[in-house]
A = this chain, B = another copy of it.
Amino acid sequence: MSPIKIGLVGVGKIARDQHLPVIAANPDYDLVAVASRNATLDGVDSYGSLDALLDARPEIEAVALCTPPQGRHALARHALERGRHVLLEKPPGATLAEVHDLVGLAKEKGLALLATWHSRYAPAVEPARAWLAGRTLKSVSVSWKEDVRHWHPGQEWIWQPGGLGVFDPGINALSIITHILPRALVLKAATLEFPANRQAPIAAQLDFQDLSGVPVRAEFDWRQTGPQSWDIVVETTDGTLALNRGGAAMSIDGVAHLEEPEAEYANLYALFSRLVRNRQVDVDLAPLSHVADAFLCGHRVLVEEFHD
Q: Quick one: closest B residue to A91, CB to CB?
A: B296
Which of A194, A211, A295: most chain B Cβ within 10 A? A295
Query: Within the assembled complex, what's the spacing in Å between the Cα atoms of A96 and B290?
Result: 8
Residues of B within 8 A of A78 (CB): none
* A94 close to B297 (CB less than 8 A): yes
Residues of B within 8 A of A95 (CB): 186-187, 293, 296-297
Q: Which of A176-196 contact B (CB under 8 A)?
A: 184-187, 189-190, 194
* A162 close to B297 (CB less than 8 A): yes
Q: A96-B289, A289-B96, A300-B199 are in contact. Are A186 and B295 (CB under 8 A)?
A: no
* B97 close to A296 (CB less than 8 A): no
* B296 close to A98 (CB less than 8 A): no
Q: How many copies does the complex hold?
A: 2
Partner of A184, one of B97, B211, B291: B97
- A-B pairs, top 5 by smallest CB distance, nearest first, are A95-B293, A162-B297, A292-B292, A295-B295, A97-B186
Partner of A101, one of B162, B186, B297: B186
Q: A194 to chain B: closest CB distance in Å?
A: 8
The proximity string for A residues 18-33 relative to B, scoring 1 for CB distances below 8 Å and 0 otherwise, is: 0000000000000000
A100 at the interface (CB under 8 A from B): yes
Partner of A292, one of B70, B96, B184, B194: B96
The proximity string for A residues 280-308 relative to B, scoring 1 for CB distances below 8 Å and 0 otherwise, is: 00000000011111011111100000000
A73 at the interface (CB under 8 A from B): yes
A161 at the interface (CB under 8 A from B): yes
* B184 close to A298 (CB less than 8 A): no
Partner of A97, one of B70, B104, B289, B299: B289
Query: Within the assembled complex, what's the spacing in Å between the Cα atoms of A179 and B112?
Result: 29
The proximity string for A residues 245-277 relative to B, scoring 1 for CB distances below 8 Å and 0 otherwise, is: 000000000000000000000000000000000
* B186 close to A98 (CB less than 8 A): yes
Q: Which of A60-114 contact B (CB under 8 A)?
A: 70, 73, 94-98, 100-101, 104
Residues of B within 8 A of A70 (CB): 297
Residues of B within 8 A of A293 (CB): 95-97, 292
Residues of B within 8 A of A298 (CB): 161
Query: Within the assembled complex, what's the spacing in Å between the Cα atoms of A300 and B162?
Result: 11
Q: A278 to chain B: closest CB distance in Å?
A: 26
Q: Quick one: closest B residue to A163, CB to CB?
A: B297
Residues of B within 8 A of A189 (CB): 161
Residues of B within 8 A of A98 (CB): 186
* B100 close to A184 (CB less than 8 A): yes
Q: Can you list 16 A-B pairs with a CB-CB distance of less than 8 A?
A: A94-B297, A95-B187, A95-B296, A96-B293, A97-B184, A97-B185, A97-B293, A100-B184, A100-B289, A104-B184, A161-B189, A291-B296, A292-B292, A292-B293, A295-B295, A300-B300
* B211 close to A101 (CB less than 8 A): yes
Query: Within the assembled complex, what's the spacing in Å between the Cα atoms of A292 and B300?
Result: 15
